[in-house]
Amino acid sequence: MPKIVRFHEFGDASVLKLDEMPLPEPKSGEVRIQVKALGLNRAEVFFREGLYLERPQNLPSLIGYEASGIVDGLGPDVTGFKVGDKVSSIPAFSMTQYGVYGEYAIIPARALAHYPDHLSFEEATSIWMQYLTAYGALVDIAQIKEGDYVLISAASSSVGLAAIEICLFHKAIPIATTRTSVKKNQLLEAGAYAVVVTDEQDLAEEVNKITEGKGVNYVFDPVAGKFLKECAKATAHGGTIFEYGALSKQPCLFPLFESLQKGLIVRGYTLFEITSDPNRMNNGKKYVYDRLQEKTFKPIIDKTFKLSNIQEAHKHMESNTQTGKIVVTV
């Protein structure tokens, strides 16, 4: 029987178990894939801890948003795919209903996509979450343009690196942040115009120097907590801050005075704004596919683990030492 990763209780990485389960059968509108690789995301860490935007209604629970593999079975009413197709999943479903960690996975057809042939399975599982997340905020909503300064915090994450690539494509100016200097050169090599090391430098002071006193037009931030106030200090008059996560786990106080003084927009954002709207998602899929096809975008893979080492893969993510996507091969 196929091995499927589930957790039977909330907790640290040790709660992830490889359970042997019957081969799942796809229902109407669903596709079964033989999984070849998985891409890990912070959302999955929070999900197994019981700290995500949604919680499993029942335990044990499936887990996982991103997988690549080969179509193995089709439910009724599925069009656009056939058995043998190489596909990867888009986070356009709830982990309370579906999860892709395992040797096989059932995924809604609307949450599957073909990808350019030159990508490996490892690369194909490292595209949709990161590029669509950054695309939604910076392109769909902000419509960044040449010369815009964009502050990208936690920039060594897969989403952060995708945001740098998107900024460069639109000739915007990406300013990356990282807590320590260990990843500074990697971020510069990835295309960041400048890097602010927040444990060693004052963010607003450094941004003021880099932008010649203007501040950044946009902030793309998954950290929140006390860091939100520092971001607000670094933002230009009339600027927008996109908050798309809560990595700090600290209380997040609204930067009232900075917002009043500068007329800031502080906006909550998740990828689901894009994936819940068929037109916006189709536009985003085409944007990402085209950039991958022309090799303008290339996902960066940090480290690869085997499915049997899923606990170690999650521990590596929680170590915050990665640059790019953590991948699990099946």
pLDDT digits (tens, 9 = 90+) for 269-289: 999 999 999 999 999 999 999
Report the pLDDT value the prediction gives residue 249, as an integer from 0 to 100. 83
Helix 128-135 and helix 158-169: axis angle, to 10°?
A: 50
In percent, the amount of the chain with pLDDT more than 70 equals: 100
pLDDT tens across 204-219, in order?
999 999 999 999 999 9
Tokens representing 52? 């995500």
pLDDT of residue 28: 97
* For residues 114-130, average pLDDT: 98
pTM score over 0.85: yes
Q: Tell me the HSE value of 75 on the side-chain side, using a 13 A CA sphere.
A: 16
* pLDDT average, residue stretch 177-206: 97
Burial class (CB in 10 A: 0-12, 13-18, 19+), 71: buried
The torsion angle over the Cα atoms of residues 103, 302, 45 and 138, rounded to 10 degrees, is -110
Beta strands per DSSP E along 159-300: 173-178, 194-197, 216-221, 235-243, 265-268
> In the chain, what are the domains?
3-127+299-329 (3.90.180.10), 131-270 (3.40.50.720)
Non-local (6+) Cβ contacts of 231 within 8 A are: 151, 153, 203, 219, 221, 241, 255
Q: How high is the pLDDT of residue 288?
A: 98
